[in-house]
Amino acid sequence: MPYTPDDQKRINAIRALSIDAVQKANSGHPGLPLGAAPMAYVLWSRHLRFNAADPHWSNRDRFVLSAGHGSALLYSLIYLTGMGLDLSDLENFRQLHSRTPGHPEVHHTPGVEVTTGPLGQGVANAVGLAMAEAHLSAMYNRPGRTIVDHHTYCLCGDGDLMEGVASEAASLAGHLQLGKLILLYDDNLISLAARTDVTFTEDRGARFEAYGWHTQLVRSEEGNDVAAIDAAITAAKADPRPSFIAVRTEIGFGSPRAGTFQAHGEPLGADNVRKTKEVLDWPTEPAFFVPDDILAWWREVGGKGASLQSTWQSEYDAWKSAEPDLAAQYERALAGTLPEHISWPAFTSENGAVATRDAGGMVLNAIAADVPELVGGSADLDPSTKTYLKGLGDFQPGNYAGRNLHFGVREHAMGAIANGLSLHGGLVPFTATFFNFVDYMKAAVRLSALSGTKVIFVFTHDSFYVGEDGPTHQPVEQLAGLRATPNLIVLRPADAVETREAWRFALGHNGPSSIVLTRQKVPFLGERSVPIERGAYVIHGDPDKLPEIVLIATGSEVSLALDAAKLLEAGGTDVRVVSMPSMELFAAQQSGYRDAIIPPQAARVSIEAGATFGWHRWVGERGVTVGIDHFGASAPAQAIATEFGFTAENVAAVASRLLVAS
Ligand SMILES: Cc1ncc(C[n+]2csc(CCOP(=O)(O)OP(=O)(O)O)c2C)c(N)n1
């Protein structure tokens, strides 16, 4: 007997709630919940270890709905298990200020682990969650005392598996042998606009097998064979490799649109909702109806975890008394607070000219021992990004305690994995690549900003000063793009001191930061205190006197501005130079501070080796922006700088012309 009448009712509760939510909103995706409800039922009721009363229990299994358009399925499960949504939340699906937005959003809805919807991201997030579990297990478990030990489950669809980010992440997960990662694939042969036979015909199981995964196919009864799904999940848990379970389902099961792409993303319509409920043998009225005995059964599922958690808590308490220092460290990291002492490096003029990427490497290595939760790596670039943590080991099969993560040449997965690492709790991840390749990972950076994950994105080789590699490797519009991203702090430090302060800011900031660093050496601009949290400050000139002209620069252009200031001063002009390591932090200051640093009545010039987009706010209508609004060129850096006007002489000339015109 593949399923019993009781199974069926419990599954149909998910289906009925989901289609009612979509119908009431007159918007949403009924197809996935109708087809995938059986596997969700088996997973949530028989395998997923969670405690509905405490969705934040650190050792809970993680569940990621990568196919985020199926959010009604997840919200129905959260409601049924009593994890914190009410029926009114389902009734307000997709409405303003509801707890049930169109796609799942972490920190917004209890029980939602990650923000999903952009397809493929969730699969990579799940890899990050599984990596976090593997690392924390290696760091904190002790013989006979296990306090981190959970699975990460991910439900994905065809769209997820068509996206490159999922392939990148799955390839890495296979290499890393993340045995506690289980991917349930809603293999319904339908995507949004068509059958997958027009787009996606390779053997998906064989693909995952080639990645080094354990793969299983469940092929019966339109995905309703709960016994087969149960057996597959049980086998997946027993296998030391990450597991891929393809469950053949029927999109829109039970509805008149079953098996067609029309079931994917439109409400069924009142008539079809009624017909679907009739097929499912479910009361057609009222909407959002769940019989008491079914709801009670689901609530018991949600309540079961209380005893799992209390058993774990006793083990945890024993571990904590045996390992008080380790426990203090773990609890601090989980709480997201920093250690009391961090050895920030000092930089003096004796360091001489240093590329900010090198300064970044020095900072990272100076603080890493004090901040054990800091883990990360690059997309196969750490000799260039300088982000290798010396002596702290490589995260590899057999050494999950290693703190250096090797993402390989997989920028997009790197970003999405970092989001998973952060959302797990207990870790502060950093990533690194060339700034130009931020575009490869932009979707993950955006989701980091949207979901507020504390990830430190390091980007080096930050401008045309990359030189000979040419315009393919020279960022132009990337700073403007990141600065336009809400909730993302962008830091472009001018020298070693500002680089240290950028790291200090990022580490203390409860959200994502990007640290944008040079490949080339930049001069040391003096031992000084840098008010990084203010975003900009006067680095040269009398801060109490209104200057004739203000030169505003970031990163490597601050020293250029200082050189230009010397030329202007030699001609008798009173100049102020403002270093602006973070435009958005400066923009967030009160107008009194902003106007004191960049007086609106002074003539103003901005200098930045990037697009000028956004700079007119700071130089004013009549001010001048020195930037690069076209692609770069392949040549020695100094030749490009001269060609594009990034010389002290040109900046001084631009400033002088502005003064004459003012
Ligand atoms: C990156 C990205 N591209 C496109 C979309 C729009 N979209 C949402 S669901 C979907 C089709 C997904 O097909 P499948 O995973 O098979 O889901 P099913 O039709 O089975 O619900 C598309 C194209 C998206 N959400 N994310």
Please compute the mean of the pLDDT values over residues 248-252 and round it to a whole number.
Answer: 96
Strand partners, 460: 434
- Identify which of 39, 192, 196, 450 to mutate to test ligand 1's pocket (most ligand atoms within 8 A of the CB): 192
Q: Is 249 in the pocket of ligand 1 (CB under 6 A)?
A: no
Which residue, by CA, sits nearest to atom 22 of ligand 1?
192
Q: How far is the CA of 172 from the centre of ligand 1 (A)?
A: 23
In the predicted model, is pLDDT for residue 619 greater than 80? yes
Q: How far is the CA of 264 from the centre of ligand 1 (A)?
A: 9
Angstrom CA distances, 312 to 52, 150, 248, stand at 15, 11, 36
Give me the amino acid identity at 66: S
What was the pLDDT predicted at 399? 98
In the predicted model, is pLDDT for residue 257 greater than 90? yes
What was the pLDDT predicted at 2? 67
- Report the phi/psi class of residue 352: left, alpha or beta, with left for phi > 0 and alpha for psi in -120 to 50: left
Q: Is 423 in the pocket of ligand 1 (CB under 6 A)?
A: no
- C-beta neighbour count of 232 within 10 angstroms: 22
Q: How far is the CA of 69 from the centre of ligand 1 (A)?
A: 7
Please compute the mean of the pLDDT values over residues 352-368 and round it to a whole number.
Answer: 98
Q: What DSSP string describes 297-311?
A: HHHHHHHHHHHHHHH
Q: Is 150 in the pocket of ligand 1 (CB under 6 A)?
A: no
Q: Is 90 in the pocket of ligand 1 (CB under 6 A)?
A: no
Q: CA-CA distance, 149 to 146, in Å (whole number)?
A: 7
Residue in the block written with tokens 């809400």: 486
Q: Is 264 in the pocket of ligand 1 (CB under 6 A)?
A: yes
For residue 251, give every residue at least 6 positions away whose Cβ sits within 8 Å of its Cβ, in sequence order, or none. 31, 32, 34, 35, 188, 190, 258, 259, 260, 261, 263, 264
Nearest ligand 1 atom, CA 68: 25
Residues of the chain with CATH 3.40.50.970: 5-306, 349-522
The DSSP call for residue 374 is E
Answer CATH for 349-522 from 3.40.1710.10, 3.40.50.20, 3.40.50.970, 3.90.470.10: 3.40.50.970
> Which band of pLDDT confidence, cut at 50, 70 and 90, is reported for residue 3?
confident
Taking CB atoms within 8 Å and a gap of at least 24, the contacts of 345-353 are 345/500, 347/495, 347/496, 347/497, 347/500, 347/524, 347/527, 348/524, 348/527, 349/524, 349/526, 349/527, 351/496, 351/524, 352/524, 353/521, 353/522, 353/523, 353/524
- Each residue of 453-469: pLDDT tens digit? 999 999 999 999 999 99
Please compute the mean of the pLDDT values over residues 136-164 and round it to a whole number.
Answer: 98
Q: CA-CA distance, 302 to 304, in Å (whole number)?
A: 6
- Each residue of 386-413: pLDDT tens digit? 999 999 999 999 999 999 999 999 999 9
Q: Is 334 in the pocket of ligand 1 (CB under 6 A)?
A: no
The DSSP call for residue 45 is I
**Phi/psi at 537 (5° precision):** -155, 165
Q: Is 159 in the pocket of ligand 1 (CB under 6 A)?
A: yes
Q: How far is the CA of 103 from the centre of ligand 1 (A)?
A: 12
For residue 286, give every residue at least 6 positions away whose Cβ sits within 8 Å of its Cβ, in sequence order, or none. none
Q: Is 22 in the pocket of ligand 1 (CB under 6 A)?
A: no
Q: Is 32 in the pocket of ligand 1 (CB under 6 A)?
A: yes
**Phi/psi at 153 (5° precision):** -110, 145
Kindly state the percentage of the chain with pLDDT values over 70.
Answer: 100
Which residue, by CA, sits nearest to atom 26 of ligand 1?
118
Nearest ligand 1 atom, CA 251: 20
Tell me which CATH code domain 535-661 carries: 3.40.50.920
Nearest ligand 1 atom, CA 157: 15
> Which band of pLDDT confidence, cut at 50, 70 and 90, is reported for residue 661?
confident
Strand partners, 245: 184, 216
> Which band of pLDDT confidence, cut at 50, 70 and 90, is reported for residue 345?
very high
Q: How far is the CA of 199 from the centre of ligand 1 (A)?
A: 13
Q: How far is the CA of 404 from the centre of ligand 1 (A)?
A: 34
- Identify which of 119, 199, 253 to mutate to test ligand 1's pocket (most ligand atoms within 8 A of the CB): 119
What was the pLDDT predicted at 220? 77
Q: CA-CA distance, 23 to 2, in Å (whole number)?
A: 30
Q: Is 31 in the pocket of ligand 1 (CB under 6 A)?
A: yes
Which is it for strands 243-248 and 603-607: parallel, antiparallel or unpaired? unpaired
Q: Which residues are catalytic?
A: 411
Strand partners, 243: 182, 214
457-495 core/surface letters (b: 16 or more CB in 10 A; e: else): bbbbbbbbbbbeeebebbbbebbbbbbebeebbbbbbbb
- Alpha helix stretches (DSSP H) within 458-521: 478-483, 496-508
Nearest ligand 1 atom, CA 32: 21
Q: How far is the CA of 150 from the centre of ligand 1 (A)?
A: 29
Nearest partner of 583 among 446, 482, 464, judged by Cα? 482
Mind spelling out the 3-state secondary structure of 377-432? Answer: EECCCHHHHCCCCCCCCECECCECCCCECCCCCCHHHHHHHHHHHHHHCCCEEEEE
Q: How far is the CA of 193 from the centre of ligand 1 (A)?
A: 9
> Which band of pLDDT confidence, cut at 50, 70 and 90, is reported for residue 179?
very high
Q: Is 11 in the pocket of ligand 1 (CB under 6 A)?
A: no
In the predicted model, is pLDDT for residue 1 greater than 60? no
What was the pLDDT predicted at 224? 86
Measured torsion, CA atoms of residues 430, 436, 437, 442, in degrees rounded to the nearest 10: 80
In the predicted model, is pLDDT for residue 491 greater than 90? yes
Q: How far is the CA of 375 from the centre of ligand 1 (A)?
A: 32
- Identify which of 69, 154, 184 to mutate to test ligand 1's pocket (most ligand atoms within 8 A of the CB): 69
Nearest ligand 1 atom, CA 121: 1
> Which band of pLDDT confidence, cut at 50, 70 and 90, is reported for residue 166?
very high
> Which band of pLDDT confidence, cut at 50, 70 and 90, is reported for residue 544?
very high
CATH architecture under which domain 5-306 falls: 3-Layer(aba) Sandwich (3.40)
Whether pTM exceeds 0.95: yes
State the chain's mean pLDDT as an integer: 97
Q: Is 187 in the pocket of ligand 1 (CB under 6 A)?
A: no
Angstrom CA distances, 352 to 122, 325, 523, stand at 45, 40, 7
More confident residue, 622 or 521: 521
Please compute the mean of the pLDDT values over residues 303-313 and round it to a whole number.
Answer: 97
Q: Is 259 in the pocket of ligand 1 (CB under 6 A)?
A: no
- C-beta neighbour count of 614 within 10 angstroms: 18
Which residue, by CA, sits nearest to atom 23 of ligand 1?
192
- Each residue of 586-600: pLDDT tens digit? 999 999 999 999 999
Q: How far is the CA of 149 from the centre of ligand 1 (A)?
A: 32
Q: Is 69 in the pocket of ligand 1 (CB under 6 A)?
A: yes
- Identify which of 264, 266, 268 to mutate to test ligand 1's pocket (most ligand atoms within 8 A of the CB): 264
Residues of the chain with CATH 3.40.50.920: 535-661
- Identify which of 161, 165, 191 to mutate to test ligand 1's pocket (most ligand atoms within 8 A of the CB): 191
Q: Is 165 in the pocket of ligand 1 (CB under 6 A)?
A: no
Q: How far is the CA of 212 from the centre of ligand 1 (A)?
A: 26
User: Between 292-322 and 5-25, two packed helices, what is the crossing angle to 10 degrees?
Assistant: 100
What was the pLDDT predicted at 241? 98
In the predicted model, is pLDDT for residue 223 greater than 90? no
